[in-house]
Homo-oligomer: A and B are copies of this chain.
């Protein structure tokens, strides 16, 4: 593989940059045509890598790239990733155009440089390298590269339900995760689920003058902050009735195969976080992996730009999300929050709650052949012990893919770092990690044959 890399490095980087240039923001309707072109590019790349591909479509959605390389009676490895990206606001904080990838000091700055274009790109490139090096694969391959991971995975959800046989596989590799730190590889054996919603309070037909009607009208901004503040008690525990009721508590001993990186000092140093959230009395690892969260991801009401506007806005908006743990169902949790809003808002204030996509949490088995093969591949490439972790983040569709695949063993991998500024301005990746990713996926495919043959499978 190293030989292939030495010969093909320039082409690899050029292809990566081509991929990053597509404005594939799935949440932004104005990017629709660009998302489509990006999907076509991915399918073409897989085709040229020996994985015949097609675009699967659901009405109103962005296409899912489906690739299949069938080599007869072998176990099947399904590789999942996504080609869509997050919005780029606030644009003014980017030091270079988010869709004109720029190399500075070996780092590549672009929206999607890591999440998830960079990561799924090295997985595709690994298969191309194996193909062009004439190496026989010990597994059949499926690729599922969707275009709506950042906005709800609706099309893929429907495709999974409609035609489950298409996705049947033994192993599921989700290439959308982080390392523990830049020297320490990690595989991820569980993610929290998610549900998102918008809460809108409306107090009047139009914006009001805050003097002319001030003191008479209940300001929707005030109603919103009071409603939201009531969602937590002073210990950080969510007060929405039923929120914690269905959680499957796990024994502390079940955490023994896992490593946790962060300390209070480290997050203060790295991110400037000095005010700690979550439930009082819980450890960082519990708060981050084992406990659900409720977050206000967006607040908007009235005029908060430069200068001042003496207005009582007609409405105020909050965007909320919850990270969920096993036992919690996305829609049930969202309905609890909706009920809380409807019953707690001031009398006469109009409340509307619109619930967006959700995704269930999942947990994998640290002793599966896939987990072992992935660990070995990482250790060979990095020369360092590979840790096992859970993730506080969500790849909402994974639980559904596991189900459609017939209960495949699942492992999340990746070369992201928490400092890569994913979902934020100036997202970046490094060429070095891109290449290690390629080598790791190639190695993992090889090792999976060995672990399978030697019957380590449990």
Q: Does A240 contact B (CB under 8 A)?
A: no
Known contacts A309-B298, A316-B299: A288-B423 contact under CB 8 Å: no
Q: Does A281 contact B (CB under 8 A)?
A: no
Q: Which residues of B contact A222 (CB under 8 A)?
A: 228-229, 232, 277, 295-296
Decide if A213 touches B392 in the complex (CB within 8 Å). Answer: yes
Total copies of the chain: 2
CA distance A223 to B277 in the complex (A): 10
Decide if B297 touches A300 in the complex (CB within 8 Å). Answer: no
Interface residues of A in 376-429 (CB under 8 A from B): 391-394, 418, 421-425
Q: Which of A301, A305, A310, A313 has the most CB of B within 10 A?
A: A310
Q: Does A330 contact B (CB under 8 A)?
A: no
Please, what's the 1-or-0 string for A245-270, where 1 marks a CB less than 8 Å from any CB in chain B? Answer: 00000000000000000100001000
Decide if B422 touches A215 in the complex (CB within 8 Å). Answer: no
CA distance A207 to B215 in the complex (A): 35
Q: Does A326 contact B (CB under 8 A)?
A: no
Min Cβ gap A353→B in Å is 14
Decide if B288 touches A214 in the complex (CB within 8 Å). Answer: yes
CB < 8 Å: which of B27, B89, B214, B299 contacts A224? B299
CA distance A297 to B311 in the complex (A): 5
Q: Does A11 contact B (CB under 8 A)?
A: no
Decide if A278 touches B219 in the complex (CB within 8 Å). Answer: no
Min Cβ gap A435→B in Å is 24
Report the nearest B residue to A230, measured CB to CB. B229
Q: Does A440 contact B (CB under 8 A)?
A: no
Known contacts A218-B277, A297-B303, A348-B276: A308-B151 contact under CB 8 Å: yes
Q: Does A318 contact B (CB under 8 A)?
A: yes
Please, what's the 1-or-0 string for A280-303, where 1 marks a CB less than 8 Å from any CB in chain B? Answer: 000010011001010111111111
Decide if A304 touches B275 in the complex (CB within 8 Å). Answer: no
CA distance A28 to B309 in the complex (A): 11
Decide if A203 touches B348 in the complex (CB within 8 Å). Answer: no
Known contacts A89-B309, A218-B275: A323-B211 contact under CB 8 Å: yes
Decide if A297 touches B309 in the complex (CB within 8 Å). Answer: yes
Q: Does A360 contact B (CB under 8 A)?
A: no
CA distance A102 to B57 in the complex (A): 47
Q: Does A140 contact B (CB under 8 A)?
A: no
Decide if A208 touches B271 in the complex (CB within 8 Å). Answer: yes
Decide if B425 touches A213 in the complex (CB within 8 Å). Answer: no
CB < 8 Å: which of B194, B208, B214 contacts A211? B194
The 9 closest A-B pairs by CB, nearest first: A211-B393, A27-B307, A274-B348, A298-B304, A275-B348, A300-B304, A229-B229, A218-B275, A221-B296
